[in-house]
Structure 1
Amino acid sequence: MDRRLIWLAVGAFATSTVAFVFAGLLPLISASAKISIAEAGRLMTVFSLSYAIGTPILSTLFGAVDRRRVIALALLCFIAGNALAAASGSYLGLLGAQIVMGTAAGLFASTAQAAAIALSSPDHRARAVSAVLGGTTLAVAIGAPLGALIGNLAGWRSTYLFIAALAFFCLAVLWLRLPHGISGVKLSLKERVMVIGRPGVLPSLVVTFLYLTGGFAVICYFGPLATQGAGMPVAMVPAMLLVFGLGAIIGNYSSGQLADRLGATRLVALSLTGFIAVCLLLTAVLEFAPSHLAGPLLIALMLPWGIIGWMFPPAQASRLVAVAPELASLTMPLNVSAMYFGIALGSFVGGQALELAPPAELGLIAAVFSLAALGVLAASTRQARRRGFQPG
């Protein structure tokens, strides 16, 4: 494997850690900035919306620019956003930092994948993209708990400084190692978006959106789940994230093998069904388990949740590619935008719910969104079969 792909993956690790570490920083930011949990959660909503909206727009604007320069620009802006967050003395300053980080992270992700494809031979392109996306998985497994631990030990501002330093190191290495002249693809925003009209694409994006909405209605609020729901100290949140991340590694690794055996559509359905069960079990634990058992049981649930949850993204991506293989370069960025629109809505809905109900109810909300995703999946699968298309 080209070693330059490793540094693209490290860049993906740094830019993705911000999204997943927020669950561990939420109680710390809320207490430090003297804002409610819901207000702190809106920072994640703003980051995700900036990512989802900014990625296709910036990819269009910089589509024909040398990939090396675009990667450098994206990382510079990302570093600036983290520095702004660390130095911010107000809620508005934090919101502005989230906008900068979200748009920069989205631009880096789309450009890094394009660069990985350009650096690889045609028969190794899928492996190259997988290597870069592996940085995101490691962000869940290692970056989020490590960032939360740093936040608990040295303050949440230190987490942003750590991520900025890591991104700066990646910037220096990639600027030296990436070759000049990696050209992009110049497409209009209309050309990028019109692919939604292809049969099967929109329902697949809706499934992604609904699933991530339900997932992040809970994931974004792991801190309140632990402290308010299970009565654990905030210092235990990094442990929760670590167990969840270990499950994510297992789920991500096993997804490809299971998809080959069961089919991607069936695996997505199983992932959605399993996620609904875990969410209902989470609510039952927080509602009915004795106080001395609620915390350990909540942590134990993180492993199967991570496994089930991270079986979904690779299998869902495989389904979307199968719908229109020749348009994969366009449908994959749209799928990422659907993911971050879902994260934005999930973090907003979860924050609003916490202002009206105890943390245990978040599991029910997540289950409802996943049940809706399962319904869309079933309907779109039946429609595809009527068209004579056999989904994977």
Structure 2
Amino acid sequence: MDIRLIWLAVGTFAIGAESFGIASLLPQIAESTGVSLTQAGYLVLVFALANAFGAPVLAALTGTVDRRRTLTVAALVFSASALGAALSHGYFDLMAARVLMAFSAGLYSATAQATGVAIVSPDHRARAISVIVGGTTMAVAFGAPLGAFVGGALGWRGAYFMVAGFGIVAALALWVMLPAGLRGAPLSLRQRVAAIALPGVPPALLTTWLTMTGAFVIIIYLASITTQSVGLPKSLVPAVLLTFGIGAAIGNFIGGQLADRLGPNRTILGTVILMVVLQLAISEVPLLPTTVAGPVFFGVVFLWGVAGWGFFPPQSSHLLSLSPASAPLVLSLNASALYLGIAAGSLIGGLVLQFGTVNDLGWVGALFPAVALALFALRAQMRPRPAFSRFG
């Protein structure tokens, strides 16, 4: 494996550690900045929207710029923004820092995938993308719980100092390891967005959006579910995130294996069904006796991590099969759909907390992958079937 892919993945690890680690920091941030938990959740909403819409624009503007320079600058801006978040004086300062983080994170992720594809042979492109995206998986598995641990020991500002350090390491490594003069094709924003019209791509992106919306209704408030709904102590929040992350790492591996053996569509269907069941279970766990609610919750969170991250490899494989020649464009659109799902999930989760309770987050989150299942079944019925002669 090309060692340069590992350093590209370090950057996606830093981004993922912040993006997923903030779930454990929201209660602290709300208390520190004097806002409600719902308002703190809007920090996730704004980040996701800035990433979803900013990444395609910035990728189009920097498409012909030396990719080593683009990646290094993006990583440095991300680190500087994380430092700005750590040193922010209030809610709106923190929000401004996260918007800048989102722009640099979106540019980095889009450019990293395109660079990974460019520096390997054509028959290793999918593997290169999986390594780079694997940085995000490792961030979910270990970066987010590490951020929760640091946040518990040093406060949420300490967690942002840690993220800034990861970004600086990635920037220095990329400047040293990547070749200079590697440039992309001059694609306009219109050309990039046009990939959304490719056959089969719109329903696939809708599936990504629905599943991510449902997941992030729950994920960004997982710390509150752990303490307020299930009744576990705050000290166990990092352990819950680690459990979810280990499940995610296992799911990422299993999802790729099953997609190769059973096909992407069957694997996608299975993981989405599991997401519906497990997200419903999150609302049911608090109804159990106190002595068993905790262990069952850890089990549900683990399996949910397996199912949720088992979805991504077959979904990426499905998108690649739809348009192999436009792989970077289609995958970047999938990333935008993912972040739009994060945005929608954070908004809906906040509304649930405003008008309902923490216990409602699980079943509300389950509604969205359930809709994805219904659309999946509808498309299967509408798919033309081969006609057979009565005489065979």
Give distance in 1, aligned partners of 2:377 and 2:55.
29
Q: Name which of structure 1's ranges 327-336 and 154-163 shifts more when overlaid on structure 2.
A: 327-336
1:316-331 correspondence runs (5 A): 316-331=315-330
Give distance in 1, aligned partners of 2:379 and 2:86.
45
Corresponding residue number in structure 1 for 2:196: 196
1:17 and 2:23 aligned: no
Provide structure 1 residue ranges, at least 5 long, that are not aligned to the other structure. none
Give distance in 1, aligned partners of 2:173 and 2:251.
31
Give distance in 2, aligned partners of 1:387 and 1:45.
45
Question: Structure 1 residue 39: deviation in Å?
Answer: 0.6
Give distance in 2, aligned partners of 1:159 and 1:21.
9
Question: Structure 1 residue 145: deviation in Å?
Answer: 0.2
Give distance in 1, aligned partners of 2:261 and 2:205.
24
Corresponding residue number in structure 2 for 1:161: 161
Question: Structure 1 residue 300: deviation in Å?
Answer: 2.1
Q: Is the 8 A contact 1:204 1:377 kept in 2?
A: no
Distance 1:250 1:188, change over 3 A: same
Give distance in 2, aligned partners of 1:166 and 1:328.
28
Corresponding residue number in structure 1 for 2:138: 138
Question: Structure 1 residue 386: deviation in Å?
Answer: 5.7
Distance 1:61 1:383, change over 3 A: farther
Corresponding residue number in structure 2 for 1:208: 208
Question: Structure 1 residue 335: deviation in Å?
Answer: 0.5
1:106 and 2:135 aligned: no
Corresponding residue number in structure 1 for 2:301: 302
Map Cα deviations across residues 45-92 of structure 1 (whole Å, 9 max, x no partner). 111111111110100000111100100111121011101110011110
SS of 1:239's equivalent? Answer: helix
Distance 1:332 1:293, change over 3 A: same
Corresponding residue number in structure 2 for 1:350: 349
Corresponding residue number in structure 1 for 2:373: 374
Question: Structure 1 residue 378: deviation in Å?
Answer: 2.2
Distance 1:340 1:136, change over 3 A: same
Map Cα deviations across residues 174-225 of structure 1 (whole Å, 9 max, x no partner). 1112111011121111111122222211111111001100000001100110
1:332 and 2:308 aligned: no
Corresponding residue number in structure 1 for 2:390: none
Give distance in 1, aligned partners of 2:112 and 2:315.
21
Give distance in 1, aligned partners of 2:242 and 2:265.
29
1:290 and 2:289 aligned: yes
Q: Is the 8 A contact 2:45 2:342 kept in 1?
A: yes
Q: Is the 8 A contact 2:113 2:328 kept in 1?
A: no
Q: Is the 8 A contact 1:64 1:184 kept in 2?
A: yes
SS of 2:63's equivalent? Answer: coil
Give distance in 2, aligned partners of 1:44 and 1:164.
18
Q: Is the 8 A contact 1:271 1:309 kept in 2?
A: yes
TM-score normalized with structure 1 length:
0.96
Q: Is the 8 A contact 1:21 1:144 kept in 2?
A: yes
Give distance in 2, aligned partners of 1:149 and 1:186.
43
Question: Structure 1 residue 295: deviation in Å?
Answer: 2.7
SS of 1:183's equivalent? Answer: coil
Provide structure 2 residue ranges, at least 5 long, that are not aligned to the other structure. 388-392
Give distance in 2, aligned partners of 1:329 and 1:172.
25
Map Cα deviations across residues 276-324 of structure 1 (whole Å, 9 max, x no partner). 11111111112x1123432332222111111111111111111122222
Q: % of aligned pairs identical? A: 44
Give distance in 2, aligned partners of 1:38 and 1:17.
21
SS of 1:360's equivalent? Answer: helix
Give distance in 2, aligned partners of 1:54 and 1:12.
17
Task: Give the counterpart letter for 2:175 in structure 1.
Answer: W
Corresponding residue number in structure 2 for 1:67: 67
Give distance in 1, aligned partners of 2:275 and 2:113.
29
Question: Structure 1 residue 15: deviation in Å?
Answer: 1.3
Corresponding residue number in structure 2 for 1:268: 268
Give distance in 2, aligned partners of 1:5 and 1:301.
33
Task: Give the counterpart letter for 1:354 in structure 2.
Answer: L
1:87 and 2:56 aligned: no
Question: Structure 1 residue 381: deviation in Å?
Answer: 3.6
Distance 1:251 1:385, change over 3 A: farther
TM-score normalized with structure 2 length:
0.96
Q: Is the 8 A contact 2:283 2:359 kept in 1?
A: yes
Task: Give the counterpart letter for 1:338 in structure 2.
Answer: A
Aligned residues: 387
Corresponding residue number in structure 2 for 1:176: 176
Give distance in 2, aligned partners of 1:386 and 1:289.
46
Corresponding residue number in structure 1 for 2:55: 55
Q: Name which of structure 1's ranges 63-72 and 184-193 shifts more when overlaid on structure 2.
A: 184-193
Q: Is the 8 A contact 1:200 1:384 kept in 2?
A: no
Corresponding residue number in structure 1 for 2:218: 218
Task: Give the counterpart letter for 2:64 in structure 1.
Answer: A
Question: Structure 1 residue 355: deviation in Å?
Answer: 1.6
Map Cα deviations across residues 369-391 of structure 1 (whole Å, 9 max, x no partner). 11111122222344444699xxx
Corresponding residue number in structure 2 for 1:2: 2
Task: Give the counterpart letter for 1:32 in structure 2.
Answer: S
Structure 1 moving runs of 4+ over 6 Å: none
Q: Name which of structure 1's ranges 4-13 and 324-333 shifts more when overlaid on structure 2.
A: 324-333
Corresponding residue number in structure 1 for 2:247: 247
SS of 1:355's equivalent? Answer: helix
